[in-house]
Each structure stands twice: as C-alpha cells, then as structure tokens.
Amino acid sequence: EVHLVESGGGLVQPGRSLRLSCEGSGFTFDDFAMHWVRQAPGKGLEWVSGIGWNSINIDYADSVKGRFTTSRDNAKNSLYLQMNSLRPEDTALYYCTKQTLGDEPQGYQGLDVWGQGTTVTVSS
C-alpha cells in the first residue's frame, strides 16, 4: 500500500526556521514528482511547492518563494521542506503529496496520494 508520512511540525516563533520531512513507501519514489500543499486552520488547500525526481526542476508558490526550499533524497524515499523566515500566516497543516503521473513537477497533474499532514504553528 502506498503511504506518505510527514514529520517535523511544531510551534515556532516568527522569523525562525523549521524543516519538515516526508517519507514515502509502497511506490518507486523517484518515478514521481512530489508536492507540498498546506491548509490553514478552517481554510482551503494551498499549493506550496513541487519538485522533480532529480531535484533540478522545483516550483514554488509566490507566497513562499525565497523563504522555503524543497528538496528530496531518493535513496531515503524522502521529501523535505526547509522553511525559513516563518510568518504567522504560514501557520497550517502541511501535506506531502504524490503527483499522479510524471517525474517532473507538472501542475496540471493530479495529486493521488496524501500524507496525514504535520502541523506548523508560527506564533510568539
């Protein structure tokens, strides 16, 4: 069975950093692009970033560009999100997701597998 498990969330002060991790299982990790999607409390889904199999092509939402960095380690079947200069508006549940098809980030593809999410709270 295909699984994604996120970790690394927590409470952090504004301006500080946090690194999220996501481990995949049940599929060939480097055959697929991976994405981060977040959901603020009581709000809708917001795409954050997508990364290709070899980490060459990486896309970011304007809201996080320059502050967040996405990376992956295919040997560990893992996806990461380094979040710097955190703001209160970054408070959300962060989901790791698998692109349905393709090993490069293609925003027109669907996201067929989702982790359970990890919560990030930015507050002083």
Residues forming contacts to another protein in the complex (CB under 8 A) are 35, 37, 44-47, 50, 59-62, 95, 100, 106-117
* Cα dihedral 50, 52, 54, 60 sign: negative
**C-beta closer to another protein: residue 35 or 72:** 35
Task: Tell me whether residue 45 or residue 77 sits nearer to another protein (CB atom).
Answer: 45
Smaller CB distance to another protein: residue 60 or 80?
60
Cα dihedral 85, 87, 90, 94 in deg (nearest 10): 40
Q: Nearest to residue 22, comparing CAs of 2, 1, 5?
A: 5
Nearer to another protein, 7 or 17 (CB): 7
CA-to-CA separations, 43 to 21, 61, 78, 83, in angstroms, rounded: 23, 17, 27, 20
State the minimum distance, in angstroms, from the CB of residue 109 to another protein. 8
Q: Least distance (Å) from another protein to the CB of residue 91?
A: 17
Q: How far is the CB of 13 from another protein (least distance, A)?
A: 27
Minimum separation from the CB atom of position 63 to another protein (A): 10
Give me the sign of the Cα torsion angle 45, 94, 100, 57. Answer: positive
